[in-house]
Copies of this chain bind each other. A is one copy, B any other.
């Protein structure tokens, strides 16, 4: 990706902003000599015209990629609680280390804040490129960051990443496999404990769950949305198990929530897997350390992060990088799933 070369030039930006080419250069190199107001006018003109200092020239003069940016839009407290991001980051880092490159990591409070941050990182040359995650439907980051010419890889379905080359998992297929497996065991009352509806991949999974349940002639209305934390997974499971027609199987959107569900089942005296089957997602080591062990839609999160980093390096090397899926999460049946007690 990136602004097509040879169209808009620094001269056009200078003309649009009513300044000299030199001033544009000073602004983009964050040098003194341009007032704050002029600098903003120059950036606005560049954004509008879709111009960014040529990234090829940039990397040539710099010789190598040495920093990649990643902003995460979630509360700091939550970040520490979910295994996914640490495994994902460890995968990214494993590839960055091979390239002697570091990760610039930042927690932001909103997508608007991320836009400003990415703009500053890019203009001030703090990053060579970025990894964008947690896409929403109609994500507000796409348009300004594409206008900026930021080289970036989107983590999410290509329908969500708005033209940024994307690396993604086929969540719809995996959800269908999970539901069909539980139905094949004989379950009819299957529930799903999912992530926030605003996230694109949660919406994809929710839709696939409902569609598959419908195809099987089952009621797909048993959804609970959460923010991915163990506490919320526990609360959702308690609510489902205390209902009059409690489910005999639950699919979770990550493994910490499935693990929490396991604790709740013991707490309310529901036997796993005899009275309740639990199916986790992502499959970190947690799933293999419980007794019985947790069945999961297994997913190499570390490898996912590594692949995202590889695609970004390809992009920065000027290669054409089509969006590509990583392996679809696949079912690993363990001790927490079984046919329902007759």
Chain A positions near chain B (C-beta within 8 angstroms): 1-4, 7, 25, 29-32, 50, 53, 55-59, 61-62, 66-67, 69, 76-81, 83, 85-91, 93-94, 96-97, 102-109, 117, 121, 124-126, 229-231, 234, 256, 259-260, 262-264, 266-267, 284-286, 288-291, 301-302
Contacts and interface: CB of A to CB of B under 8 A. Distances in A.
Contact of A106 (B61, B96, B291): B96
Q: Which of A102, A104, A290, A301 has the most CB of B within 10 A?
A: A102
A154 B51 CA distance: 34
A29 B56 CA distance: 8
Contacts of A81: 83, 87, 284-285
Contacts of A259: 286, 289
A239 B39 CA distance: 65
How many copies of this chain does one complex carry? Answer: 2
Contact of A291 (B94, B97, B231, B266): B266
Given A4-B29, A230-B285, A267-B291, A80 B76 contact: no
Contacts of A231: 285, 288
A73 to B, nearest CB: 11
A108 B53 CA distance: 31
B77 A302 contact: yes
Which applies to chain A's interface (DSSP): helix, strand, loop or mixed?
helix
Given A76-B302, A263-B289, A1 B58 contact: yes
Contact of A79 (B58, B86, B117): B86
A77 B56 contact: no
A263 B290 contact: yes
A259 B289 CA distance: 7
Given A50-B32, A61-B32, A289-B230, A90 B97 contact: no
Contacts of A104: 67, 102-105
A32 B7 CA distance: 11
A261 to B, nearest CB: 9
Given A50-B31, A290-B263, A291-B263, A76 B105 contact: no
A102 B97 contact: no
B106 A94 contact: no
B61 A2 contact: yes
